[in-house]
Amino acid sequence: MRVLVQRGGCPQGGWAAGQRVSLDENEIHHLRVRRAKDREAVEILDGFGLSGTGQLIQSGREWMVDVKTVEQRPCPPGLTLAVAAGDRERFSWMVEKSVELGVTSVVPLHTGRSGGVATRLKDAHLDRLRRSALEATKQCGAAWAPSIEEPVSLEEFVRRPLTGIGWLADSQGKPAPAKLNDDPLTTVVGPEGGLTSGERASLTGAGFIPIVLGPHTLRFETAAIAAAAAATQARLRG
């Protein structure tokens, strides 16, 4: 069983072998559902690179973990998904799956055609989204959860210097490269109605290369996961 032990559970802001750390209500609920047992051995993660082993300690209705071993895993190569802030439920699904593929950062974008989506992702949904990302690390065993940034306009995003490689999901683009090194990679995915010609021109002018991700029109969450999968496979080959 994996348990998420957030750094806030330890006074030092992290945790080390020999320490006893507390669990938050979400993890305690998870243990009750799983019918965890006192003194049960667990794998522990914090979503920020710390992983290790521990032993559950039950005290009444409270649960803690005695930390046995700790390892700080290196941050994976930068893999950013900058995605139009469409339907929040589909955006949340995308974030969960992106964890499994090693995405390191998710940037919700306000674009010309995403503002009219009634169920679009908004600032108020970010805490839940970040929690979903952490929960996904527990499910798949990833040591690092992606950072979920505050939504930004595409215009503001384009003004940021592009570090490493930039892809633009585009039906008129070329197939993704078969091999990649570990240089940072950022992929931009537009909304359901697509990017405007001006938005597309801004991105290509900033160095983003149009990449086709499939033979048919993809929903934004499908395109984002397809891009992450293509990048992950290319890095494995490289």
CATH label of the domain that carries residue 16: 2.40.240.20
Residues 116 and 219 in one domain: yes
Tell me the average pLDDT of the chain: 92
Picking from 54, 58, 114, the residue whose alpha carbon sits closest to that of residue 88 is: 114
Taking the model in full, what pTM does it have? Answer: 0.91
- Give the whole-number percent of the chain exceeding pLDDT 70: 97
What is the residue type of 192? Answer: E
Confidence grade of residue 7 (pLDDT, cut at 50, 70, 90)? low
User: Dihedral of CA 22/149/91/182: which sign?
Assistant: negative
Confidence grade of residue 232 (pLDDT, cut at 50, 70, 90)? very high
Rounded to whole angstroms, the Cα distance separating 202 from 135 reads: 35
- Is residue 12 pLDDT above 50, yes or no? no
CATH number where 90 lies: 3.40.1280.10
Mean pLDDT for 182-188 is 98
Q: What is the pLDDT of residues 40-84, one digit of tens each?
A: 999 999 999 999 999 999 988 899 999 999 999 999 999 999 999
Confidence grade of residue 193 (pLDDT, cut at 50, 70, 90)? confident
Confidence grade of residue 10 (pLDDT, cut at 50, 70, 90)? very low
Number of domains making up the chain: 2
Residue 119: both structure tokens together: 């169920």
Tell me the Cα Rg of the chain.
Answer: 20
Residues 107 and 43 in one domain: no
Picking from 19, 44, 47, the residue whose alpha carbon sits closest to that of residue 30 is: 44
CB neighbour class for 113 (10 Å; exposed up to 12, middle 13-18, buried from 19): middle
Domain interval for residue 40? 2-72
Residues 181 and 116 in one domain: yes
